Amino acid sequence: MSRLKAAVIQVCSGLVVSENLAVIERLLMAHQQEQIDIFVLPECFAMLGGPQAEVALQADEIREWMASTAKTLAAWFIGGAVPIRDSCDGRHHASCLVYNPEGKEVACYQKMHLFDAEVSDGKGRYRESDDFIPGAGPELVDIGQAKVGLSICYDLRFPELYRYLVAQGATVFTVPSAFTKVTGEAHWEVLLRARAIESQCYVLAANQAGTHADGRQTYGRSMIISPWGDILAEAPAEGAGVIIAELDLAELVRVRQQMPCLKYVLKN
């Protein structure tokens, strides 16, 4: 099969995990009959705006929900970040989880680049390192028709991660995010399109959208982008919803053949 049907989910997550999951489930089930191959949820989909320690206490339930939902949808299901405890260190990783259509967890990417920054918005100071430790390395998932390179939000600013993933065979990138409104207005689209163009990959970017309990404002505008940099689907700046696009893998091959930039990457 040379095509994949992808769906990206956008939400404005609140403080109650069960309520957030219920909202997402309603959005997903509205598209259950559309034979979608891969669904992507945004960063912090289970809860945003409160202590991540509270989410960590419910991590097992969130994983069970993801496994069950993937099986119900009979599709690949990707979402993060979920706080997952490091078995050796005892602290948590911001983790992107991947489930196959049978509901089995097949990958857990641990966010490598933690968002420690000052932003001129209602929250102001962001220190992910107060809650998380960085992951050790990149993660790639073979879903049969494509290889999916995993990333989370702030990772988007580090092109070397995507260069590594494409050198390992990635044809699709997923970017679950909670990009702020301020940084999103400045950089969201240009960074997503740059990652797609320079790596000649499809990009599935699921963003949070709205104002959260801690004053954080997220940018929305979730996107699906082609290897040529075209925006195939885009969500609005506010509100929950689902965007869908077909990923033409034969077209990806043609782009790489006609503009053979990656031969310089793959030699390294």
Name the residue with tokens 């998380």. 132
AA letter at 123:
K
Of 12, 96, 153, 201, catalytic: 153
Instruction: State the pLDDT at residue 81.
Output: 93
Average pLDDT over residues 231-239: 97
Instruction: State the pLDDT at residue 1.
Output: 55
Q: Give the integer Cα–Cα distance in Å for 114 and 25.
A: 28
Examine the residue annotation and report whether 12 is marked as an active-site residue of this protein: no
Of 111, 139, 181, 201, catalytic: 111
Mean pLDDT of the chain: 95
CATH topology of domain 3-266: Nitrilase/N-carbamoyl-D-aminoacid amidohydrolase (3.60.110)
pLDDT digits (tens, 9 = 90+) for 123-173: 778 999 999 999 999 999 999 999 999 999 999 999 999 999 999 999 999
Examine the residue annotation and report whether 43 is marked as an active-site residue of this protein: yes
Cα-based distances in Å from 135 to 1, 94, 151, 191, 209: 33, 8, 11, 22, 26
Average pLDDT over residues 171-187: 97
Instruction: State the pLDDT at residue 121.
Output: 83
pLDDT digits (tens, 9 = 90+) for 93-115: 999 999 999 999 999 999 999 99
Q: Is the peptide bond before 81 cis (omega within 30 degrees of 0)?
A: yes
| Share of the chain residues as helix, strand and coil, in percent rounded to the nearest 5 | 30, 30, 35
Q: Is 253 left (phi over 0), alpha (psi -120 to 50) or beta?
A: alpha
Instruction: State the pLDDT at residue 266.
Output: 59
Examine the residue annotation and report whether 111 is marked as an active-site residue of this protein: yes
Average pLDDT over residues 68-92: 93
pLDDT band at 257 (very low <50, low <70, confident <90, very high): very high
Q: Give the integer Cα–Cα distance in Å for 146 and 118.
A: 37
pLDDT digits (tens, 9 = 90+) for 15-26: 999 999 999 999
